[in-house]
Amino acid sequence: MATTNNSDKWQDGPVNEPDFLNVTKGLKSWLITLDHKRIGMMYLWGILISLLVGGAFALLVRTELWSTGKTIVDQDTYNKFFTLHGAVMVFLVIIPGIPAALGNIILPVQLGAPDVAFPKLNLSSFYLWIAGALCLVIAIPFGGLDTGWTLYTPYSLDSKSPVLLAVIGVFILGFSSIFTGLNFLVTIHKFRPQGMGWFQMPLNLWAMYATAIMQVLATPVLGITVALLGAERFFDIGIFDPTLGGDPVLFQHFFWFYSHPAVYIMIIPAMGVISEILSTFSRKPLFGYRFVAYSSVSLALLSFLVWGHHMFVSGQSRLANMVFSALTFTVGIPSAIKVFNWIATLYKGDIRLKTPMLYALSFLLLFTIGGLTGLFLGILSVDIHLHDTYFVVAHFHYVMMGSTLVAFLGALHYWWPKFTGRMYPESLAKICSLGVFFGFNLTFLPQFIMGSRGMPRRYWDYDPHFTIYHQLSTIGAFVLGISLFVVVVYLVMSLKTGARAARNPWGGSSLEWEAPSPPPLFNFETPPVIRELYDYSELVQVEEYRWERRPATTETTTAAAETASAATETASAATEATTAAAETSEPEPTPATTTDEPPTDTQEGDK
């Protein structure tokens, strides 16, 4: 029987076996792990490092734009800065961010499963991400990339920068994404426990499912597109080169067929985690559950119909322009449905303003702004003026950064106690979240204004009357950058110095909060009981960061605390006493239907 060498260290770690962080030691055990939680954590470190790298490029861009003309670098280097900022952020941070890092850690636990469907494929996905990231990073000392992250032909065919190396990296990253999506789809289909039907799944899982559909269907088109681009550069095959009979606009069709669903791959997981956070910190079930679930999937499907709205002024025909513009309006509807449902969730809720909730509330505002400005850009006549201006830049930063990254940070703080067993410093975190909010808005609100006044994007130099907007934007960028850096620092430090976390520090109702903090290797020591979704009635706050589940019959908190500790002892005694017999009789507490009683109580008899 495994000894519990850490129950005296973790506040609510596993009782009968080591937690997943300590079950095996040493670097090799991490590098060849098949445990989804370890894989997710490795992704998380990679993504956070990439965030800092991409952020550094962003600060270099904004520094250069502090004044007109040359501030720190010349035009060609500036092109490389914004390209690498875009490529690193899009391919290494925002697309994998929530699904690969947090999804890998949390999805099976939230589902009540011991692991994802294909653990070896999961590890392969991680190593593919590393390989792709290395390709992109190695391109930097070889001259970087200067085509813009969108790699438009014909310049990407002629550019002297190492485009081939970069597109090989993108190709590999594409397969990492596809395999992650495949894994999640099969896991959600095949590892849902008895009692958790489709409409008893938390909305985070619906969001992951919708994202996975898009990852599997759209990413292969990116793969073939960059493969053709590489072949064109290396072999002169001519498919995008008009002098050889090819069509450069065809590249844009191919590229945006993936890249539009890609932006929904970025935002839908964010919407999923926001649903969870808003519900938990309002102590209310999410309003309009089915509507939100359906809108996740319908958004995923609709996202395939609108890619031409990136090409309104690229030479696309008038007919296609009109069709894509009309379809773009429809794609705003599911997002709007979600925003209304989130606000209705907050209404008359018991709002607790912890850090995850602060990020979630920021998300609501920033996503609304980002989404609405997207609709402006979907109008043909308006887009003629706004295309390739800073308005577009501000729009996509509001949705990619103000929404996805903010949701990522919220979710990171929300689940940090669960998978690290530590609490981050709450006051500092709140200050940083305000710094992120303030810095973000200071950076990007002026960009809307200067974009509508004609400031083009990706320009190294500009007309002097835009200077004040650029300077405000640069100051905001540094405020934002410093806040993000401090966030990463205190999170890393909390691993050693943070307070031990309870099993359920926020009073969440989904299955991951039934697992120990941190969870053992296969997530649950006893099979989790499937309860009604978003039901907070039994959760009682015992301390500020500790909630416990009490059935409605129990009375005082002290008596409940005593019973809870007694119940834990009895549970461990019971499991220790019955070894072989337990294997056959243990499935009993997980009946075919949901029950209100936690397993410990049934073993003690009725209360």
Partner 1 sequence: MATAHHDAHDDHHGISHVASAKVLLGTGGSLLFLTVVTVLATKVDFGPSINLALAMFIAAVKATLVVLFFMHLKYDKVFHTVIFVGAILAGALFVGFTLMDTGQYQETNIWDVDRPPPAPIGPRPISG
Partner 2 sequence: MSEHPHAGHGDDHGHGHHGSPFIQHHYDDAKHQFEAGKLGIWIFLAQEVLFFSALFVAYILYRHHHPEIYAYAHKYLDTKMGAINTGVLIVSSLTAAWAVRAAQLRQQKLLIACLATTIACAFGFLVIKYFEYTHKIHEQILFGKRFDPCVSSGGTPLLTKSNECPGTKSTVQWDFATSSPKEGSCFGDVAIDLDPKKPNVQADCKVFELTGSTTFQDGKEVFVEKGRREITARCPDPVFGRDLGLPPGTDPSKTSYPCWKTNHQPHVCKGGWYFTWYCEGDSCAAPFGGEGPFATQQACVDARRGKEGSGTVTECAPSHASGILVEYGDHDVREGVRITAECKAPAAPVAEGDPLEDKAQALALGQASLATEAPLTKAERKNALYAGPPPEHTNMFFTIYFAMTGLHGIHVLIGVFIFIWLLIRAIKGHFTPDYFGPIDFAALYWHIVDLIWIFLFPLLYLIH
* Binder of residue 314, out of partner 2, partner 1, none (CB less than 5 to 8 A by kind): none
Structure tokens at 515: 């697992």
Closer of 307 and 545 to partner 1 (Cβ): 307
* Minimum gap (Å) between residue 482 Cβ and partner 2: 41
CB of 422 to partner 2, least distance (A): 24
**Partner interacting with residue 308 (select from partner 1, partner 2, none; CB below 5-8 Å by kind):** partner 1
Residue 150 CB, nearest approach to partner 2 (Å):
17
The CB-of-558 to partner 1 minimum distance in angstroms stands at: 49
Nearer to partner 1, 199 or 347 (CB): 199
When binding is defined by CB under 8 A, the residue of 105, 145, 221, 501 that contacts partner 1 is: 221
Exposure of 434 in the CB half-sphere (CA atoms within 13 A): 7
Q: Is 322 in the site for partner 1 (CB under 8 A)?
A: yes
The number of beta carbons lying within 10 Å of the beta carbon of residue 552 is 7
189 touches partner 2 by CB under 8 A: yes
Task: Check binding of 247 to partner 2 (CB under 8 A).
Answer: yes
Q: Which stretch binds partner 2 (CB under 8 A): 39-47, 57-65, 180-188, 314-322?
A: 180-188
CB under 8 A, 24+ apart: contacts of 137-144: 137/53, 138/165, 139/165, 139/166, 139/169, 140/84, 143/80, 144/80, 144/83, 144/84
Contacting partner 1 within 232-251 (CB under 8 A): 247, 249-250
Query: 602-607: long-range contacts at Cβ-Cβ below 8 A with a sequence spacing of 24 or more?
Result: 603/570, 603/571, 603/574, 604/566, 604/567, 604/570, 607/551, 607/553, 607/554, 607/563
The Cβ of residue 28 has, within 10 Å, a number of other Cβ atoms equal to 9
Rounded distance, CA 567 to CA 604, Å? 7
Please, which residues have CB within 8 angstroms of residue 23's CB and are 6 or more apart in sequence? 17, 520, 521
Buried b (16+ CB within 10 A) or exposed e, 216-226: bbbbebbbebb
Q: Which stretch binds partner 2 (CB under 8 A): 54-62, 179-187, 358-366, 471-479?
A: 179-187
Which does residue 322 touch among partner 1, partner 2, none (CB within 5 to 8 A, set by kind)?
partner 1
| Of residues 150, 147, 301, the one with CA closest to residue 218 | 301
33 binds partner 2 (CB under 8 A): no
Residue 41's alpha-carbon distances to 158, 279, 419, 424, 586, in angstroms, are 39, 25, 9, 16, 31
Distance in Å, CB of 598 to partner 2, minimum: 14
Return the range that interacts with partner 1 (CB under 8 A); candidates 81-89, 193-201, 287-295, 314-322: 314-322
Q: Does 257 bind partner 1 (CB under 8 A)?
A: yes
- Asked if 191 touches partner 2 (CB under 8 A), the answer is yes
Binding mask 587-606 for partner 2 (x = CB under 8 A): x--x-x--------------
Structural contact between residues 205 and 276, judged by C-beta atoms closer than 8 angstroms: no
Nearer to partner 1 (CB atom), residue 261 or residue 435: 261
Q: Give SS3 for 533.
A: coil
Q: In 3D, which of 67, 70, 73, 82 has the Cα closest to residue 466?
A: 67
Considering only the stretches 192-200, 304-312, 582-590, 598-606, report the one whose residues sit in contact with partner 1 under the rule CB under 8 A: 304-312
Stretch that binds partner 2, among 18-26, 87-95, 181-189, 376-384 (CB under 8 A): 181-189
Is the CB of residue 89 less than 8 Å from the CB of residue 97? no
Q: Looking only at residues 251 through 290 of this chain, which bind partner 2 when binding is defined by CB under 8 A?
A: 253-254, 257
Q: How far is the CB of 268 from partner 2 (least distance, A)?
A: 18
Q: Taking contact as CB under 8 A, which single stretch among the options 81-89, 155-163, 519-527, 541-549 is the one that binds partner 2?
A: 519-527
Which stretch in 162-170, 476-484, 517-525, 532-540 sits in contact with partner 2 by CB under 8 A?
A: 517-525
Contact 65, 470 (CB under 8 A): yes
Tell me the C-alpha distance between 44 and 27, whole Å. Answer: 16
The option from partner 1, partner 2, none interacting with 605 (CB < 5 to 8 A, set by class) reads none
Residue 224 lies near partner 2 (rule: CB under 8 A): yes
Q: β-strand 539-543 against 546-549: which pairing, if any?
A: antiparallel
Determine the interface stretch with partner 2 among 66-74, 99-107, 176-184, 371-379 (rule: CB under 8 A): 176-184
Residue 319, phi then psi, degrees to nearest 5:
-60, -50
In contact, 267 and 300? CB cutoff 8 Å: no
Please report the sign of the dihedral spanned by the C-alpha atoms of residue 511, residue 513, residue 515, residue 518. positive
* Contact status: 245 vs partner 2 (CB under 8 A): yes
Q: Which two tokens stand for residue 92?
A: 């290494």
* Binding stretches for partner 1 (CB under 8 A): 217, 221, 247, 249-250, 253, 257, 304-305, 307-308, 316-324
* Binding stretches for partner 2 (CB under 8 A): 16-17, 112-115, 117-119, 121, 178, 182-183, 185-186, 189-194, 196-198, 216-221, 223-225, 228, 231-232, 235-239, 241, 243-247, 250, 253-254, 257, 522-528, 575, 582-583, 586-587, 590, 592
